[in-house]
């Protein structure tokens, strides 16, 4: 039985196979209409969502199954103090697969270690969002016909943008990817993504403050929202929120076949006038997300026929348990005090929390 907490939980060949299934679902939806008859997905959303929750539910309904769940923490027993682990154990009695969104980073990993059914990370704080990445990957594949030899610009909030972190990790598996990282200094990529994904995999990248300067070379422009909900200092949010606004005028310098992606929701970082431009792909991403979630549900339910969980072994050299603390206040271990605090050694001598990739402190 497999869970998907990080996009790297899926191999390149598994992603290729999901793309193939998603394209087949798009071409032959009737062939899939009964494939999950009698199955239930539980959507456990402790944080707001439109696309991810409803697309998981639509995906299961279109596969002939059913959906149960909640859309805010206040309507679950988390509001009474129930832990993520206990919630996951309880839901195992009611459903066949879980999609979980949580503001605390690492919460879906904690759930996957307790649940007796597959768990899908539907977004954990500013950390990861692997199924948005599946939507992004399918969109790039359908627009460009390939996932390699592309110059991809990421623009906006690269610090808290979990979709950015997951997509960069996925692209690290493909050849000839050049990254252009466009952000204010305050919203640059976290060190673990830059050092342990981009540099470790020898990916080509450069950082710039200027979208205008980067625009002409891009095959893909991945715009992001500056996320108010992740800031502890709202004055900083106010200062940074309008850093980049994509307009038709700015697109004059872009390639005629550049694809514009955005995980959505948008606020004002893409003018609505851009929506009519043929390069705008963000509403296609929404549809592609449903297709990939259908493919993922089918795949994970297949793996769940073998009840044995893939449990990583944290007892070896390279791991330190309960001797250090996580420095990230957004980590699930800051909320659930009885969780084992587990850190893995990285090549540059830093220990990082297995839940959120935060640095260890004493
Ligand atoms: N892209 C995305 O995760 O959207 P929602 O927050 O609406 O789910």
**Which letter does DSSP use for residue 76 in this model?**
S
Work out which ligand 1 atom sits closest to the CA atom of 52: 8
| Residues marked as catalytic | 51-52, 80, 101, 129
Ligand 1 centroid to Cα of residue 13, in Å, is 26
Nearest one of 176, 173, 169 to 154, comparing CA atoms: 169
Percentages (nearest 5) of helix, strand, coil residues in the chain: 40, 20, 40
Percent of the chain residues past pLDDT 90, beyond the cut: 89
**Cα Rg, the chain, nearest whole Å:** 20
**Residue to probe by mutation, ligand 1, list 51, 53, 102, 285, most atoms within 8 Å of CB:** 51
Residues in contact with ligand 1 by the CB-under-6-Å rule are 49-52, 123, 132, 263-265
| Architecture in CATH for domain 146-284 | 3-Layer(aba) Sandwich (3.40)
Ligand 1 centroid to Cα of residue 286, in Å, is 9
User: What is the average pLDDT across 134-138?
Assistant: 98
More confident residue, 126 or 7: 7
User: What is the average pLDDT across 278-307?
Assistant: 96
Percent of the chain residues past pLDDT 70, beyond the cut: 100
Nearest one of 94, 18, 92 to 59, comparing CA atoms: 18
- The beta strands (E) that lie in the chain are given as 40-45, 66-70, 97-102, 119-124, 150-155, 177-182, 204-208, 220-223, 259-261, 319-321, 325-326, 342-345, 351-353, 360-361
208 burial class (0-12, 13-18, 19+ CB within 10 angstroms)? middle
- Half-sphere exposure for 313 (CA within 13 Å, toward CB): 3
- Classify 150 as helix, strand or coil: strand
Residues constituting the chain:
362
Please enumerate in sequence order all residues whose Cβ is within 8 A of that of 342, keeping only pairs 6 or more positions apart, or say none: 314, 319, 320, 321, 322, 353, 354, 355
Please enumerate in sequence order all residues whose Cβ is within 8 A of that of 68, keeping only pairs 6 or more positions apart, or say none: 40, 41, 42, 43, 94, 95
347: pLDDT confidence band, cut at 50, 70 and 90?
Answer: confident
281: pLDDT confidence band, cut at 50, 70 and 90?
Answer: very high
**Which letter does DSSP use for residue 117 in this model?**
S
- Classify 222 as helix, strand or coil: strand
CATH class of 7-129+287-303: alpha beta
Report the nearest-CA residue for atom 5 of ligand 1: 49
Share the mean pLDDT of the chain: 95
Work out which ligand 1 atom sits closest to the CA atom of 50: 7
pLDDT of amino acid 22: 98
Cα dihedral 36, 42, 47, 53, rounded to 10, equals 20
Between 2.160.10.10, 2.30.30.20, 3.40.50.300, 3.20.20.70, what CATH number should domain 319-361 receive?
Answer: 2.30.30.20
232: pLDDT confidence band, cut at 50, 70 and 90?
Answer: confident
Structural contact between residues 219 and 255, judged by C-beta atoms closer than 8 angstroms: yes
Which residues of the chain does CATH 3.40.50.1370 include?
7-129+287-303, 146-284
Ligand 1 centroid to Cα of residue 278, in Å, is 23
309: pLDDT confidence band, cut at 50, 70 and 90?
Answer: confident
**Residue to probe by mutation, ligand 1, list 108, 263, 284, 290, most atoms within 8 Å of CB:** 263
Ligand 1 centroid to Cα of residue 181, in Å, is 22
């Amino acid at each position: 039985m497999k869970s998907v907490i990080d996009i790297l939980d899926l191999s390149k060949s598994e992603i290729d196979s999901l793309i193939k299934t998603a394209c087949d679902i798009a071409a032959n939806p009737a062939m899939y209409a009964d494939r999950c008859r009698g199955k239930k997905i539980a959507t456990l959303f402790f944080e707001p969502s439109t696309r991810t929750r409803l697309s998981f539910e639509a995906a299961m309904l279109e596969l002939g199954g059913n959906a149960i769940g909640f859309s805010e923490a206040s309507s679950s027993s988390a509001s009474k103090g129930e832990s993520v682990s206990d919630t996951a154990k309880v839901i195992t009695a009611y459903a066949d697969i879980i999609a979980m969104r949580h503001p605390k980073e690492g919460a879906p990993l904690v759930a996957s270690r307790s649940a007796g059914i597959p768990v899908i990370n539907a977004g954990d704080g500013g950390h990861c969002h692997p199924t948005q990445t599946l939507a992004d990957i399918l969109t790039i594949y359908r627009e460009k016909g390939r996932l390699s030899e592309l110059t991809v610009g990421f623009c906006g909030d690269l610090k808290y943008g979990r979709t950015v972190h997951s997509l960069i990790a996925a692209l690290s598996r493909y050849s000839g990817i050049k990254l252009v990282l466009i952000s204010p200094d305050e919203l640059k990529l976290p060190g673990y993504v830059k050092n342990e994904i981009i540099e470790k995999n020898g990916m080509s990248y450069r950082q710039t403050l200027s979208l205008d300067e980067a625009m002409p070379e891009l095959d893909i422009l991945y715009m992001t929202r500056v996320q108010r909900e992740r800031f502890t200092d709202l004055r900083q949010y106010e200062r940074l929120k309008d850093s980049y606004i994509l307009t038709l005028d700015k697109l004059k310098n872009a390639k005629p076949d550049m694809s514009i992606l955005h995980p959505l929701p948008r606020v004002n970082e893409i003018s609505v006038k851009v929506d009519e431009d043929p390069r705008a792909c963000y509403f296609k991403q929404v549809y592609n997300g449903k297709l990939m979630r259908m493919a993922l549900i089918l795949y994970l339910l297949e793996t769940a026929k073998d009840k044995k969980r893939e449990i990583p072994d944290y007892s070896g050299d390279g791991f330190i348990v309960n001797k250090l603390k996580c420095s990230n206040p957004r980590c699930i271990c800051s909320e659930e005090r009885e969780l084992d605090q587990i850190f893995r050694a990285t090549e540059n001598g830093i220990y990082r929390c297995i839940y959120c990739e935060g640095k260890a402190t004493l």
